[in-house]
Structures are given as structure tokens and as C-alpha cells.
Amino acid sequence: MCLGTPGQIVAIHDAAKKLGVVEIAGVRRVTNLACVVDEIPLDACVGEWVLVHVGFAMSRIDPEEARRTLSLLAELGDSAPADDGGLP
């Protein structure tokens, strides 16, 4: 349940209504920030990453915790393979 997508706040759309513009992989949408402004004040939230669900930012993504989870999983290998055109 509850599809959520990480996106970055790139602009404030309407400060009074706590609306911001969130960008997810080059796709932008006006997003309600009411649930995250407790944690990140509106005037400081541009650049922050949040989890977006049905047009609402539901939580700030903590980059430090994300890094810690990944390092727990051991360092990542070089995950970008050379472009071999997918040939078998």
C-alpha cells in the first residue's frame, strides 16, 4: 500500500498554503508540505528531499540515516556497468 516517491523540494509555490514544487526525476508537481514543515521550516526547505504520497510530502528523508543504512549493507560496488548495448 501507500506508494511513496522520494523527491526534492525545488521551489515554494504558495507559502500561505504551505505548497511547494517537488521534483521527482525531472517531473514536477505542486505538493503540499504541511506535514513536513514541523521538521523543516518553509523558508529553509528548498533543496530538501521528502517522500511524496498522493501529492503530499509525508516525511523528510534523512540523508545521514540513508547513508548509515547503506553503509550497514556494506559499501556499494561500482554499480554502473559499461554500455554494452545489452548484448548477451
Dig out the grid coordinates for 66 from the structure: 540513508
When binding is defined by CB under 8 A, the residue of 10, 11, 15, 70 that contacts other proteins is: 70
Instruction: Single out the residue of 47, 71, 44, 72 nearest to residue 61, CA to CA.
Output: 47
Q: Which is closer to other proteins, CB of 12 or CB of 49?
A: 49
The distance of closest approach from Cβ of residue 26 to other proteins in the complex, given in angstroms and rounded to an integer, is 4
Give the number of residues written for the chain.
Answer: 88
Cβ distance 34 to 56 under 8 Å? Answer: yes
Under the binding rule (CB under 8 A), the answer on residue 12 touching other proteins is: no
Region 19-58 residues binding other proteins, contact defined as CB under 8 A = 24-30, 32, 34-38, 49, 51-56, 58
Residue 77 near other proteins by CB under 8 A: yes
Identify residue 38 by its one-letter amino acid code.
Answer: D
